[in-house]
A and B are shown apart, each in its own frame.
Chain A
Amino acid sequence: MLLPAAAVVTNLLFRNSPNLRDGLTLGAAIATFLVVLNILATVGNTTTDNFVLLEVMPGLELAFNVEPLGMMFAILASGLWIVTHVYGIGYMRGNNEDNHARFFACFSFAIFSVMGIAFAANMFTLFLFYEVLTLSTYPLVAHKGTLAAVKGARTYLSILIGTSIGLQLVAVIWTFAIAGTLDFTRGGILEGLIAGPPVAILLALYAFGIGKAALMPFHRWLPAAMVAPTPVSALLHAVAVVKAGVFTMLKVGIYIFGIDFLAATGASVWLMWLAAFSIIASSVIALTKDNLKARLAYSTISQLSYITLGVALATSMGILGGSLHVVMHAMGKITLFMCAGSIYVATHKTNISQMTGLGRAMPITFMAFLIGSLSIIGLPPLGGSWSKWLLIMGAADAGQLAMIGILLISSLLNVAYLLPLVGKGFFLKTPNQTGPTKFSESPTLVWAPPAFTAFGCIILFFYAGHIQAFLMPIIAAP
């Protein structure tokens, strides 16, 4: 049963030789996806035993297992990898970027580490792949090699490595020192071993240490990383990297601390308020950004904090909402990013103020953008509505009425920063009639993927119930 999990890892390793052709990578992507589906078919939503690859130190193992949350994350990442890869080929060729082999090799390597994160059976393994992911995405961010790219990549790396070594590592070792194990265990491993203020300190070390979750004030790397080519922004900064962050957050909340323990000690109340602050503050910043990718980056920060908020609420509904939001936001955000890339490929425009009237020329891109936006905002019949609904329920369960208010305000802010682009695109005329007026979409390989994921946002609305049922075991009593 566990062999496929290992096979995913080895498969990918094997295919990472730098000379891979695009087609081979695509084959790998599809194979990975199929293997993950295969695991899903054989394992379902139960948790498997640990598959121990090797033991580094007594009690410190490199081990993998399959459990619902990781399963969901693996399906999401491997599925969207296929889409992004197709898009990446189109984008890279459409823009004549250099170093394709290095680009796609790092890309695959990043996905490999994401799989490692998804199937990690303990915090040590997860931490290891977390760092590998950071390092493998660094060349992607610096891909263009320009001064701006190098500076952005430097910020990216220093914040992510800084927080993970400076804070997360201490938290992990501390956990190991008091609990004697790092295995992800239902109900947590810390209960009864630590009490009082140290719980909140440990949680803080984790919450800030997981820099990929982009909790303020450690969010600067996300906008900085937007210098990367758009496929990278799309997959890594809307899906893989940031989702690895919040996924780690969820794992820590559920399997290290345990929701009941968090709720009982009240250690996460401050985190909840901080997440709320992040949600509102970054939405407001997003409003001020004219560069489309920067606006989307701040929107991501805000949406990630939804998930952190879900953990901090420490109720089963909150956790469920947070987990569901991982999927919904990934689908929505990847659509938006790919649309941004599509606009760039077709017109080389990056600022929203220049995009007036483009909707008539690029109807498919803009329709996809509209659907993605609506899903992020959380309107039915789109996927995003369910996760927001569950989060609100979670807030109500926790008796935090203020949080409901925050979520609602944030939705309104989402409307304010996402929809104007669509409106301008469709309803306003290009200012001096110099822009393209007739139908001139970007290449097929570039516009088809966002259309596909936009369609996915709609599908997810109807299948959210299944995902929810699939995830139920993670909140069941230990």
Chain B
Amino acid sequence: MATQTVHHTAMTLSDHLPILQILIPFISAPLIVFIGRRSLAWPIAFIASAASFVIACLLLSKVIGGGIISYQIGGWAPPLGIEYRVDAANAFVLFLVTGIATLVLPYARQSVKAEMPQRTQTLFYALFLLCMTGLLGVTITADAFNVFVFLEISSLSTYVLIAQGSYRDKRALTASFNYLIMGTIGATFFVIGLGFLYMATGTLNMADLADRLSGQYESRTVRAGFAFILVGMGLKVAIFPLHFWLPNAYTYAPSAVTTFLAATATKVAIYVLLRFIFSVFQPAFLAETSTLEIIFYPLALLAMFAASFTAIFQRDLKRMLAYSSIAQIGYMLLGIALFSETGLMATIIHLFNHGITKAALFMGVGAYVLRSRSSFYIQIQGLGKTMPWTSAAVIIGGLSLIGVPGTAGFLSKWLLVQAALEQGYWPIAMLIVASSLLAVVYVWRLVETLYLSTPHSEQTIQEAPLSMLLPLWIMALACIYFGFETDITLGAAKAAAQALLAGSSGMLH
């Protein structure tokens, strides 16, 4: 209880930032539909997401030192009313989500025009904003049931967004349907888990939950609740054996959607996982039930290797990147499993770094799809010469994915190995580097395809339009920038890791 929570009674605009963060995209989405003009849809969406980004930056700058902002909706005090709570961990995720959204939108304009019929484009932007609202809401809220509500908002809009890929490839429909089934199972498990916790405690506010749970760790109800929440969120995160929805969803969704989802959706789910297992349940509970040893370690390592191996043998670039995402999620889980400040820092920083890396890569793929109509390796052969700017940015993203020094990916890998060594887990450190060697293999297959193969067709392929190149290059440069300039990422990750490790007291301040 070091710092006093500020209860906002005197309200200025800046005090309302947490709710504005949600409201702006939330209101803009129906606005787009009501106005109904295609020419206005994109500008509204862009302004809304840019405004959200500014708000997220402001929030992050307020809490990066370790402070907390608590916002009570309608002035109802927490255990009864719904509370929004911003600390370093979720402000950082908000920053990532809004930042990616703001960059994906300019990029999406061309890509959406090419991949979707005109009549659905207006709705697309509305859904995009809704999806973003859901993700932001999941992140910012301190109410467990509210998490579920926002999770459903984002999931439902995601199902539709993925299905939009059907204009390019009909398989998007089955991919979307699969995700619908899996996602609903996940959400149901999650809400069942919440039900158990509610049964045991009679509250849904996270801080309150944590407080009342602390004496009940032996209770079977609580443990069952924990298990349901873990599995439910695990589906959303795409923890290794629960990942089957992901490759198809990423492969067949429109490029802009894939970019946005890959960079944010799983990351937000990881954040929720972190929040529940560290803040709602205490770190002590984790140690007692040995969740980490039994579940996280083996699954994380399995993901790192199995998914990387699968990625190597893909013939479709999008699918390869999807499997690589699953492998990278393994790294994040491993950071949690290492259960130390450095480990958690590695998880949080990798969450961010992998977000921007994958965004850059998927944007590049989107550009290839726009120009060569496909993301199969055989179709993009030799594009390094015809699309030099796109390909160079993709290579930078690929290097960051491997974790070459000087890129963002290197830092997260460094922290992860350091965390493993601090605990004296030798074999794990070796396994981490071994699996990043698999990343070298699949990234280099891409390099050879782009630069050293003869072009597949004789038709001349142009460079991608500037509106796509610019966001792509901003992302690629961000991969390098955050490899050197670490004040923001490292600072936020450190504050977040400390707060999380402090358990529920990290939330109560």
Does B421 contact A173, Cβ atoms closer than 8 Å? yes
Taking a contact as CB atoms closer than 8 A, the residue among A128, A154, A161 that contacts B437 in the complex is A161
From 124 to 161 in chain A, residues with beta carbon under 8 angstroms from any chain B beta carbon are 124, 127-128, 131-132, 135, 139, 142, 145, 150, 154, 157-158, 161
Contact B422 A165 (CB under 8 A): no
**Complex formed: what's the CA distance from A180 to B344 in Å?**
20
Residue B306 interfacial (CB < 8 Å): no
The stretch that binds B, out of A54-62, A330-338, A420-428, is A54-62
Contact flag A170-B484 (CB < 8 Å), given A57-B411, A127-B405: no
Within the assembled complex, what's the spacing in Å between the Cα atoms of A158 and B429? 20
B406 touches A158 (CB 8 A): no
Residue from A56, A145, A154 within 8 A of B444 (CB atoms): A154
B434 within 8 A of A: yes
Contact check, A166 vs B405: say whether CB atoms are below 8 A apart.
Answer: no
Contacts of B405 in A (CB 8 A): 124, 127-128, 131-132
A162 CB-CB contact with B under 8 Å: yes
For window 403-418 of chain B, which residues contact chain A by CB distance below 8 Å?
403-406, 411, 413-414, 417-418
Distance A161 CA – B434 CA, assembled complex (angstroms): 11
A128 and B452 CA atoms in complex are apart in Å by: 26
Asked if A165 contacts B417 (CB within 8 A), the reply is no
- Asked if B422 and A177 sit within 8 Å, CB to CB, the answer is yes
A128 with B411: CB separation less than 8 A: no
Q: Are B414 and A173 in contact (CB under 8 A)?
A: yes
B418 / chain A contacts, CB cutoff of 8 Å: 173, 176-177
* Given contacts A135-B399, A177-B421, A162 and B484 within 8 Å (CB-CB): no
The answer on a CB contact under 8 Å between A131 and B433 is no
Closest to A172 in B: B414
Q: Check: B436 CB closer than 8 A to any chain A CB.
A: yes
Do A62 and B404 touch across chains, with their CB atoms under 8 A apart?
no
- Which applies to chain B's interface (DSSP): helix, strand, loop or mixed? helix
With beta carbons under 8 angstroms apart, the residue of B433, B486, B490 that contacts A169 is B433
**Within 8 Å of chain A (Cβ to Cβ): is B292?**
no
| B20 sits at the interface (CB 8 A) | no
**Which residues from B are CB-within-8-Å of A177?**
418, 421-422
The reply to whether A173 and B452 contact each other, CB–CB distance below 8 Å, is no
Q: Is B57 an interface residue (CB 8 A)?
A: no
Q: Which residues of the other chain, B, contact A462 by a CB distance below 8 angstroms?
A: none
Q: What 0/1 readout, one digit per residue, does chain B (432-447) give for beta carbons within 8 Å of chain A?
A: 0110110011001000
Size of A's binding interface in residues, CB under 8 A = 28
B417 touches A169 (CB 8 A): yes
In the assembled complex, the Cα of A127 lies from the Cα of B413 at a distance in Å of 14
CB–CB A162/B440 < 8 A: yes
State which of A131, A145, A169, A174 has its C-beta within 8 Å of the C-beta of B452.
A145
Given contacts A173-B418, A177-B421, A177-B422, contact A54 B485 (CB under 8 A): yes
Residues in chain B near residue A161, CB distance under 8 A: 402, 437, 440
Q: Mark A159-188, 1 if CB is under 8 A from B, else 0.
A: 001100111011001101100000000000
Query: Which residues of chain A have C-beta atoms less than 8 A from B414's C-beta?
Result: 57, 169, 173
Contact A56 B437 (CB under 8 A): no
Distance of A167 Cα from B422 Cα, bound (Å): 17
Contact of B417 among A62, A124, A135, A173 (CB under 8 A): A173
Sort chain B's interface into a size bin: 20 to 34
Q: Which residues of B contact A162 (CB under 8 A)?
A: 437, 440
Task: Kindly state whether residue B80 has any CB partner on chain A within 8 Å.
Answer: no
Which of B430, B444, B452, B490 lies in contact with A170, CB distance below 8 A? B430
Residues in A whose Cβ lies below 8 Å from that of B422: 177
Q: How far is the CB of A135 from chain B (nearest CB, A)?
A: 7
In the bound complex, what is the Cα–Cα distance between A90 and B147 (angstroms)?
A: 68
Residue ID in chain A nearest B452 by CB atoms: A150
B451-476 residues at the A interface, CB under 8 angstroms: 451-452
Which B286-326 residues have a C-beta within 8 angstroms of A?
A: none
> Is A56 a contact partner of B411 (Cβ separation < 8 A)?
yes
- Across the interface, do B404 and A170 meet the contact criterion of CB distance under 8 Å? no
Q: Shortest beta-carbon distance, A439 to chain B, in Å?
A: 40
Asked whether B448 is an interface residue with its Cβ less than 8 Å from the other chain, the reply is: yes
Contact: B404 with A131, CB < 8 Å? yes
| Least Cβ–Cβ distance between A182 and chain B, in angstroms | 11
Give the docked Cα–Cα distance between A62 and B484 (Å). 9
* Distance between A148 CB and nearest chain B CB, rounded to angstroms: 12
What is the minimal beta-carbon distance from A364 to any residue of chain B, in angstroms? Answer: 37
Residues in A with CB closer than 8 Å to B485 are: 54
Most buried by B among A56, A132, A157, A162: A56
Closest residue on chain B to residue A130 by CB atoms = B405
Do the beta carbons of A170 and B429 come within 8 Å of each other? yes
Collect the chain A residues with CB atoms within 8 Å of residue B452's CB: 142, 145, 150
Instruction: For the complex, give the distance between the alpha carbons of A128 and B480 in Å.
Output: 13
B404-A135 in contact (CB<8A): yes
Q: Which residues of the partner chain A approach B404 to less than 8 Å between Cβ atoms?
A: 131, 135
Complex CA gap A221/B483 in Å reads 29
> Across the two chains, which residue of chain B brings its CB closest to A157?
B444
Shortest Cβ distance from A58 into B: residue: B490
In the complex, which residues of chain B have a beta carbon less than 8 angstroms from the beta carbon of A154?
444, 448
Interface residues of A in 60-77 (CB under 8 A from B): 62
Contact B434 A166 (CB under 8 A): yes
Known contacts A54-B485, A173-B418: A165-B444 contact under CB 8 Å? no
Q: Can you list 9 A-B pairs, Cβ within 8 angstroms, ordered by A? A: A57-B490, A150-B452, A161-B402, A161-B440, A166-B437, A170-B417, A170-B430, A174-B421, A176-B418
Q: Which residues of A does B touch, CB under 8 Å? A: 54, 56-57, 62, 124, 127-128, 131-132, 135, 139, 142, 145, 150, 154, 157-158, 161-162, 165-167, 169-170, 173-174, 176-177
7 shortest A-B CB distances, which residue pairs? Answer: A128-B405, A173-B417, A177-B421, A166-B433, A131-B405, A150-B452, A173-B418
- Given A128-B406, A169-B414, A173-B417, 19 additional A-B pairs, CB 8 A: A54-B484, A54-B485, A56-B483, A56-B484, A135-B399, A145-B452, A150-B448, A154-B444, A162-B437, A165-B402, A165-B440, A169-B417, A169-B433, A170-B421, A170-B429, A170-B430, A173-B414, A174-B421, A177-B418
